[in-house]
Amino acid sequence: MLAGRMAVRLLIGLSLLLATLPAFAQDTAELLPVTEAYKLSADAGTPGVLKLHWTIAPDYYLYRGRMKFKGGDGVSLGAAQLPDGEKHHDEYLGDVETYHHGVDASIPYTVAAGTDRLRISVQYQGCHEVDPKICYPPHTEKLDLPLPADGAAAAAPVAGSLGAALGQLGSNRIEAVAGTVGAPLPAEQAFRFEALVQNPHQLLLRWTMPRGYYLYRDQTTLKLENAGGLALKPAWPAGTAHHDEHHGDVTVYFDQVELPVTIEGDLGEARALTLLASFQGCQDGGLCYPLMTRRVNLDLGSGATVTGQTGATAPELPPGNADSVPADSVPADSVPADSAPADSVPAGPAPLQVSLIAALLLALGGGLVLNLMPCVLPVLSIKAVSVLESAESHAAARRHALFYTAGVLCSFAALGLGILALRTAGHALGWGSQLQQPVVVGVLACLMLAVGLSMSGVVQFGASLGNTGASLAARSGPAGDFFTGVLAVVVASPCTAPFMGSALAYAFAAPMASALLVFLMLGIGLALPFLAVGFVPALGRLLPRPGRWMETLKQVLAFPMYLTAAWLVWVLANQRGADAVGLVLVAMVLLAMTLWWFERSRSRGAISKLAVVVLAIATVVPMALLAQVPPRSASAATEEGVVAYSPEKLASLRTAGTPVFVDMTADWCVTCKANEHTVLDTDAFHDLLRRTGTVYMKGDWTDVNPTISAFLQQYHSPGVPLYVVFPKNGGPGKQLSTVLTRSMVEQALTEAAR
């Protein structure tokens, strides 16, 4: 019904659009040409500074972030000085700043010796804000101005330096590919830097870049701070030859590069060193980043992997060149603020130092405990019924166990391979992040309803559906056992059992073969109870004998399925709001109708069976529309006493010497909700916050959020929950266990406040 109404509205909208086309064509003819809507004038009378002025016609505006400036031959530009614009949320560009009526810009420049003209390209973009509301495409004007009489004084003595080359390179690349590349990532995400101590005299440095980013070999410098007599000897691997307009023929690295570095000299009693790494990279076909500096503390006795902290841009860059990439075209946290101390951007601690054997044992224990988690128990009720029904047959019990285990292992293997593939491509996938997709949540809610209806006796699936997901609730059959295992893994991902955090952190950073073994061991742990019942006859004899009471038990166990479906609808409400809930409820009603009529059509003719197909198709329509529902608008209100997470706010709190408790959570994360109920939402916790002066900062990962994903990657966390306590003295953050206790949190906050 809802789908039909939406289709009618769509047809009416199209009809109205067609009816207004002639009027729209007449209105657009009255729009001003772009050079009249935005009249640009230039003043080069002041040596070393170009002044620009736009006169903006009424009902038009310019975007601050869409202004780009490129110097011609022999001209190097500094950072454009632009006033703050009017803040505005654009439907397509997000949060932007705009100018009305007029705007002035001031651009410092230097010229090479022998340059007699000031040639500059200026690109800008604006819109008409009343009917007809249209936006002009980016427009470029080329300025050719005489230099002032004493313009030679503006010639830069550093024209051949890295700073000047960076300024020119960044500006040129932006101009050349305007509108053809994606938005640049923050520097911390674009260039992940790690340092591994292999032995006291040998380091392994690693840079990891997403697809489409590269690192310069010859713009990288390494040094040890306060380590007299020690020197670093890097052994660069072969890179990719690249011709750069300003650097010439250079060597670059894509995806990932590992650099062995030897520490030469007498270490003496030194067991801790500080490494300073400065490097530069670019987005292929996009912009170039300013010189980045990462500072890491090396523990020569631990062999720990350390993520570098972001320091200030290298001092040799002349004023303005650090911002030669316009501030509005790069995310705000890609270039650290000069006022922030080096440790204001939190560096992730070393991952837990576990061997492969230890990681496998932890994975086995974590998978075993998953059987007791509330997100898995509803699915295990299906398996419990099948095991009880086969109690008199050892062969049937073994078959149930083997096919269920096969489903679990195949699912964990697929999940592990997917994560490794995305990691290789430079992307990230967290534990449970499939529930960030509304369609996945909606489908799971419908699947839980179908399983519950089957266990309640509304429908009985026969062999004809034995190879489909619906056979999860079948009373027998290998396919039913297999897909029960698949479903158990899918619904297990919102839970993080004890021991799993360390094993998953190892898997998300380990080589492919080792990571895959960890995921398979998680599967063995999850399937172990049913394997034991199936293959140990003594355990099977402990099970109650089958009887009529089992039908009642199966109907009772249907209600956890309905509760799980209700929980998934609640998650969907928090992701996409009331419209999404309406669509999934319509889909669930249509699904129930389909299953009801399917059961009645068993003894009926072809027309009745055709009606089942029509109802099934109708069930899919709301799920398809669900994918088009936009994310729910963020609410300005926050929980009392809770600060919404942002890197900038965290940095400012740390600069002020305030201890911070960071909680990364999600509505679909069952472990997160359990921790909130037992620890974080209690009066004792809030009293502890007041007593220690700690700020409670929360990040919501219910929906896709790249900023929170970057924080999780920084701490090598496979997903949520993640809890990090930052001390008031500015030291590194302390990562807590995924399963909290009151004493653990009290001890961490008390230490942080000292």
Q: Is the peptide bond before 318 cis (omega within 30 degrees of 0)?
A: no
**pLDDT (mean) for 271-287:** 81
Which of 127-131, 159-163, 477-481, 563-567 is predicted with the least confidence, judged by mean pLDDT? 159-163
User: CA–CA separation, 175 vs 95, rounded Å?
Assistant: 22
Rg of the chain (C-alpha set): 31
CB 59 within 8 A of CB 130: yes
Residue 213 has pLDDT above 70, yes or no: yes
What percentage of residues in the chain have a pLDDT greater than 90?
11
User: CA–CA separation, 242 vs 251, rounded Å?
Assistant: 6
**Across all residues in the chain, what is the average pLDDT?**
74
Which of 18-27, 291-300, 565-574 is predicted with the least confidence, judged by mean pLDDT? 18-27
Residue 417 has pLDDT above 50, yes or no: yes
Fold held by 187-338: Immunoglobulin-like (2.60.40)
User: CA–CA separation, 160 vs 73, rounded Å?
Assistant: 13
| Nearest to 250, CA basis, from 294, 287, 215, 208 | 215
pLDDT band at 597 (very low <50, low <70, confident <90, very high): confident
User: CA–CA separation, 721 vs 701, rounded Å?
Assistant: 9
| Nearest to 373, CA basis, from 503, 496, 472, 484 | 496
Pull the structure tokens for residue 454.
């089957």
Q: CB atoms < 10 A from the CB of 508, how many?
A: 24
User: CA–CA separation, 587 vs 581, rounded Å?
Assistant: 10
Name the more confident of 700 and 270.
700
Residue 603 has pLDDT above 50, yes or no: yes
pLDDT band at 659 (very low <50, low <70, confident <90, very high): very high
**pLDDT (mean) for 130-151:** 79
Q: Which CATH architecture has domain 34-156?
A: Sandwich (2.60)
| Nearest to 118, CA basis, from 79, 144, 151, 149 | 144
Q: Do domains 34-156 and 642-752 have the same CATH topology?
A: no
User: CA–CA separation, 710 vs 704, rounded Å?
Assistant: 11
CATH number of 642-752: 3.40.30.10
Residue 75 has pLDDT above 50, yes or no: yes
Pairing of strands 272-279, 117-124: unpaired
Classified as helix, coil or strand, 230 is coil
Residue 470 has pLDDT above 50, yes or no: no
Rounded alpha-carbon distances, angstroms, from residue 553 to 388, 472, 664: 11, 17, 39
What are the extents of the domains in the chain? 34-156, 187-338, 356-626, 642-752
Residue 566 has pLDDT above 80, yes or no: yes
Residue for token pair 């292929």: 284
Residue 386: what pLDDT?
63
Q: What is the pLDDT of residues 8-60, one digit of tens each?
A: 454 444 444 444 444 444 444 567 888 889 999 988 887 788 889 999 999 89
Beta bridge partners of 126: 62
